[in-house]
A and B are shown apart, each in its own frame.
Chain A
C-alpha cells in the first residue's frame, strides 16, 4: 500500500527471558485517515504491537526485534519514544498509572507533554482547551487528577494524547472504564479525527464497538497475524472463533423468531435495523420478572432507607436512596461516571457509613458492624483486582476469604475446588495470579469472592478488559450464583452484559435513584430516561430505532435477555 502511514514487514519481537515471541512475523500496512482495530484473545500480542509502534521496543521493553516498522516515515525501532512523539502516541488501558504525578490540575496534566516539548504557552492553552472540550471534561480543568473517578481519569489521559496532535494515535483498550455515552462519544471523536486525516489504531475487545467504528480489523493470535479485513467480514467469520458480537447474537435470535428478513446475520446496529421485520407476527416471548417481583415478597436481603452521603467538602454523593433487594435477585446498578454507584456499593457492606438513613442486611441494621464481619452476607469484587490479589498461588488466594470466615478446612477445600471450576481456573490453581493474563486475574478475584458464598455478591465492572472467552466464563459463574439463590448486583457500563444477566435495573443520576424497575416492565419514559443517562442495551436501541413501542410483542422479543445470550 503506497499511502500507508504505518507499515510493518516481518516484524517479530521476543521479550528478554521469554522463549516464545510476543509478535511473530507481522506484516501490515495501515492507510492514513483510517480507524484500524486490533483484536484477539488475552496474550495475543495486541499491547506489544501498540507499544512497539510507539517506540518502546527494544530500549524501554528489552528484547529482540526482527523485521522492520515505520510510522509516519520514522522507525520506532531505531527511534526513542520521545523521538516518535511528534509522529505517534499511545493511550494505555490503565488510566490511574498514566497520571504523571507532577501536575496539580487536570489542565496541567493534559498540557504537560506539550510543555515538556517547549511549545508556546498560547499554543498549549488552545490545544488543552480543545482536548478537554473534545472529551467533555472542561469543567474538571482545575481539579486534581487524583480526585477524578476512573472514567474521568481515562477521559483526561485521552485528552492528553489528543492535545499532542500526532498523525497516528494508538489506543490500548480505551473504553474499559468509560460509560456508554462516553464510549459512543469517543467512537465518534475517533471517526472525526480519522476524517480529518489522523490514523487511529485501537486495541479493543469490544466487538460491537469495533464493528461500529473501525474501517478494518486485524486479528492477532499468539503473536501471529490471524486475519485482516473489514469488520463485517472478520466478525462474521465463524472460523476465526472470535466469539459473537451482541449484534450477531440479536440477529440470530431474530432469525429464530421469524422476524429477520436478511440473508446473513448483522454485525452492526444499522444492519440490525435493516434486517428486523417490523410487520412479522411474533410469538409471545416473556421475560421473567425478578424473583422479588414475581414471587410473594420474602424478607429482603438488603434494605437501604433514606441513605444520604456527602464528601467531607460537603458535595452530596447520595441523596435519599431507598432500595430493597430480594434473595436471588439479579440487579444492574447503572449510572454515568461519578453518579454515585461505587459509593452506594460501599455502603452495602459497611465500608462507608451513611450520614443519615440506614442499611440493613437480612433485616439487621449494619450501622455498628465492622465491614469485615459482613462478608458472609455481602461481598464485592472491585474493579481494580490488583488491590485484592496477594497470595502466591491462585488456590491460596481463593482459600483466603473462607479461612477468614472460619470455614472448616473440608468445606474450604470444597468451596475452593468449586470456585476454581466455575471460573475455569482449575488448571491454573497452582499458578501465581500475576503470571496469568489480566483477564484471567479478574476471574481469580471473582472466584475468591465466590468462595465466600455470601448472600449478595456485587461485581464492579466485571467485564472490563475481558476477552470473549473470559466473558463466557463470567456469565456461567453468575448463573451458578443465582441458581444457588444468591443475589447478584452488577455495577457496569456494559449494558448488553447486564441486560442479559440481570432482571432489574436501578439507575442512579446525581446521587439519586431515578429509575428502579424490572427490565421487562420498562415503558417509553423509562427507556428515554435510560437512554439519556447511560444509553440503551442493543435490543432496546434497535427496537426504538425501528419505531417498535415498549410493551409490543416484537419489543418484548428483541429485548428478552435470551436475545443477547
Chain B
C-alpha cells in the first residue's frame, strides 16, 4: 500500500530532495549536517518500501564511511589540533569531524535521491518533467536508458549461462580475460541487432507521431504541494544567496 509520501507529486519529492541535498552541501556544522541527513532518512522511513531501501543503504554507506574516515582522518590529519596517536597513526578529531560532514553529505544525497527513485515510477517522473517542458526525445532517451539496464543485465546473464553450458569456467584473472570475447561479443552483436528491431518496434508504436501524446497516468497534485515546491525552490535560492553573501561580500 503506497504511503502518503509515495503518492506525492514526483516534482514535490524531487524538490524536497533538492532542498535537503543543497542544505547538506552548504551546512558548516556537524550537528546541522546530522539533522539534515536524519531528515533525508525520514523520507525513506515515510515510504512503504522503507525495508527494501534500507537494506541497500549499508552497501552505499559503509564503504564510503570507512574510506572517507581513513582518507580525511589518517592521510590528511590536521595534527595541529587535537592529535591522537593510534598505533603509530596520527589522527585528528577535527579531521574526523570534517570527514564526518563529507559522509553526511554523501548519505543525504544517496538517501534523498534513492528514495525518490525507488518510490516514483520512472514513467511518472518523466511525465512530470515533460509537463514542465522536457523535450520528448530527451524523455525517451532517459526512460529507455533506465529501462534497458535490467534488460541488458538479463542478456548478460543469459550469455554467461550459454557460454558456461559449453564449458566456460571463470575462476582466475587470466580466465576472466579469456572470457571477455565470448561474453562481450554476443552482448555487443546482440545489442546492435536489437537496435534495428527496437527501432522498428518504436516506429510501429507511433513514436514518430507529431501530435501531443496522451498521458495514461494522472499525476496527483494539490495547492499545498505547489506551495511546498515553491518554498523548496525559494529555500534553495535563499541558501545560495546566503552562502554567497557570507563568503564573498566584504
Nearest-neighbour CB distance to chain A for B219, whole angstroms, equals: 13
Docked Cα-Cα span, A101 to B150, in Å, equals 10
User: Considering the chains assembled together, what is the distance between the CA atoms of A51 and B171 in angstroms?
Assistant: 46
A116 to chain B, nearest CB (A): 4
User: Residue B186 contacts which of A92, A379, A390 (CB distance < 8 angstroms)?
Assistant: A390
Report the bound CA distance from A375 to B199 in whole Å. Answer: 37
Q: For residue B216, which residues in chain A have a CB less than 8 angstroms away from its CB?
A: 108, 111, 115, 121, 124-125
Please indicate the chain A residues that have their CB under 8 angstroms from the CB of B193 in the complex: 97, 386
Which residues of chain B are near A349, meaning CB under 8 Å?
Answer: 164-165
Closest Cβ–Cβ distance, residue A377 to chain B (whole Å):
11
What chain A residues lie within 8 Å of B212 (beta carbons)? 118
- Chain B residue numbers with a CB within 8 Å of A434 are 189
A82 to B211, CA, bound (A): 12
Residue B181 at the chain A interface, CB threshold 8 Å: yes
- Chain B neighbourhood of A80, CB < 8 A: 203, 208
Contact A346 B186 (CB under 8 A): no
Contact call B165/A113, Cβ cutoff below 8 A = no
Q: Which chain B residue shows the least CB distance to A100?
A: B205
Q: Does A366 contact B (CB under 8 A)?
A: no
Kindly identify, within residues 162 to 217 of chain B, every residue whose CB is under 8 Å from any CB belonging to chain A. Answer: 162-171, 181-182, 185-186, 189-190, 193-194, 197-209, 211-216
Find residues 137-173 in chain B having any chain A CB closer than 8 Å to their own CB: 140, 143-144, 147-148, 150-151, 154-155, 158-159, 161-171
Whether a CB of chain B sits under 8 angstroms from the CB of A270 is no
Q: Is A103 on the interface with B (CB-CB < 8 A)? A: yes
- What residues of chain B lie closer than 8 Å to A371, measured between beta carbons? 161, 164-165
Q: Is the CB of A452 within 8 A of B158?
A: no
Q: CB-CB < 8 A to B205: which residues of A? A: 100, 112-113, 116, 160
Q: Which residues of B contact A376 (CB under 8 A)?
A: 167
Binds B, one of A179-187, A188-196, A399-407, A477-485: A399-407
Assess whether A387 is in contact with B186, with CB atoms less than 8 Å apart: yes
Q: For residue B154, which residues in chain A have a CB less than 8 angstroms away from its CB?
A: 146
Given contacts A97-B194, A117-B211, A118-B211, contact A379 B165 (CB under 8 A): yes
B203 touches A370 (CB 8 A): no
Classify chain B: how many residues form its interface, as a range. 35 or more
Any B CB within 8 A of the CB of A372: yes
Q: Which residues of B contact A69 (CB under 8 A)?
A: none
Find out whether the CB atom of A89 lies under 8 angstroms from the CB atom of B207: no
Give B205's nearest chain A residue, CB to CB. A113
A99 contacts chain B at the CB level, 8 A cutoff: yes
Residue of B nearest to A121 (CB): B214
Within 8 A of B (CB), among A89-145: 89-90, 92, 94, 96-104, 108, 111-121, 124-125, 144
State whether A117 and B121 are in contact (beta carbons under 8 Å apart), knowing that A372-B167, A405-B167 are contacts in the complex.
no
Q: Does A435 sit within 8 A of B, measured CB to CB?
A: no
- Give Cα A157–Cα B205 distance, bound, in whole angstroms: 10
Contact A146 B150 (CB under 8 A): yes
Distance in angstroms between the alpha carbons of A333 and B221 in the assembled complex:
52
Q: Across the interface, which residues of A come within 8 angstroms of B163, CB to CB?
A: 372, 388
Query: In the complex, are the beta carbons of B162 and A387 less than 8 A apart?
Result: yes
Residues of B within 8 A of A117 (CB): 206, 209, 211, 213-214
Q: How far is the CB of A306 from chain B (nearest CB, A)?
A: 24
User: Across the interface, which residues of B come within 8 angstroms of A116, CB to CB?
Assistant: 205-207, 209, 213
Q: Which residues of B contact A351 (CB under 8 A)?
A: 161, 164-165
A372 CA to B167 CA in the complex, in Å?
Answer: 4
Q: Which residues of A contact B159 (CB under 8 A)?
A: 387-388
Q: Check if B122 is an interface residue, CB within 8 A of chain A.
A: yes
Interface membership of B97, Cβ < 8 A: no
Closest to A128 in B: B216
Say yes or no: is B128 at the interface (Cβ < 8 Å to chain A).
Answer: no
Query: By the criterion CB–CB under 8 Å, are A115 and B123 in contact?
Result: no
- Closest partner residue, chain B, to A452 (CB atom): B166
Residue count of chain A within 8 Å CB distance of chain B: 67
Are B161 and A346 neighbours in the complex by a CB distance under 8 Å? Answer: yes
Q: Which residues of B contact A379 (CB under 8 A)?
A: 165-167
Q: Which of A60, A94, A118, A346 contacts B214 (CB 8 A)?
A: A118
Instruction: Please encode chain A, from 358 to 374, with 1 for each CB lying within 8 Å of some chain B CB and 0 for all others.
Output: 00000000000011110
Report if A380 contacts B (CB, 8 A): yes
Residues 447-471 of A, flagged 1 when their CB comes within 8 A of B and 0 if not, give 0110010000000000000000000
Asked if residues A104 and B200 are in contact (CB atoms below 8 Å), the reply is no
Question: Chain B contacts of A391 at CB under 8 A?
Answer: 185
Complex CA distance for A387 and B156, rounded to whole angstroms: 8
Residues of A within 8 Å of B197, CB to CB, are: 92, 94, 97-98
Residue on B with the closest CB to A448?
Answer: B166
Q: How far is the CA of A125 from the CA of B162 in the complex (A)?
A: 40
Contacts of A389 in B (CB 8 A): 186, 189
Bound form: Cα–Cα A560–B151 in Å: 43
CA distance in complex: A80, B199 (Å): 14
Closest chain B residue to A102, Cβ basis: B143
CB distance from B126 to the nearest CB of A (A): 9
A538 at the interface (CB under 8 A from B): no
Q: Give A362 to B121 CA distance when docked, in angstroms.
A: 49
Q: Does A85 contact B (CB under 8 A)?
A: yes
Complex alpha-carbon distance, A401 and B166, angstroms: 5
Whether A124 pairs with B164 at a CB distance below 8 angstroms is no
- Contact assessment for B167 and A102 in the assembled complex, using a CB-CB cutoff below 8 Å: no
The yes or no answer to A382 lying at the interface (CB within 8 A) is yes
Query: Which residues of B lie under 8 Å from residue A97 when comparing CB positions?
Result: 193-194, 197-198, 201
Cα distance A371–B170 in the bound complex, in angstroms: 10
Q: Which listed residue (A101, A104, A118, A386) contacts B198, Cβ 8 A?
A: A101
Contacts A351-B161, A384-B158; A115 near B204 (Cβ below 8 A): no
Residues of A within 8 A of B198 (CB): 97-101
Q: From A81, A124, A372, give the contact of B169 (CB < 8 A).
A: A372
A56-B203, A82-B206, A386-B189 given as contacts; is B215 within 8 A of A101 (CB)? no
- B167 near A375: Cβ-Cβ < 8 Å: yes
- Given A117-B206, A400-B182, A404-B166, check contact A101 B144 (CB 8 Å): yes
**Most B C-beta atoms less than 10 A away, residue of A82, A160, A346:** A82
Q: Does A54 belong to the interface (CB within 8 Å)?
A: yes
Asked if residues A85 and B166 are in contact (CB atoms below 8 Å), the reply is no
Q: 26 A-B contacts, Cβ less than 8 Å apart?
A: A60-B200, A60-B203, A81-B208, A97-B197, A99-B151, A100-B201, A102-B123, A102-B144, A108-B216, A117-B209, A118-B214, A120-B214, A121-B216, A146-B147, A349-B164, A370-B164, A371-B164, A371-B165, A372-B164, A372-B169, A380-B165, A382-B165, A386-B193, A388-B159, A388-B163, A401-B167
Excluding A113-B205, A373-B169, 6 further A-B contacts by CB distance (< 8 Å) are: A101-B151, A112-B205, A118-B212, A346-B161, A379-B166, A390-B189
Q: Give me the interface of B with A, judged by CB distance under 8 Å.
A: 121-123, 140, 143-144, 147-148, 150-151, 154-155, 158-159, 161-171, 181-182, 185-186, 189-190, 193-194, 197-209, 211-216
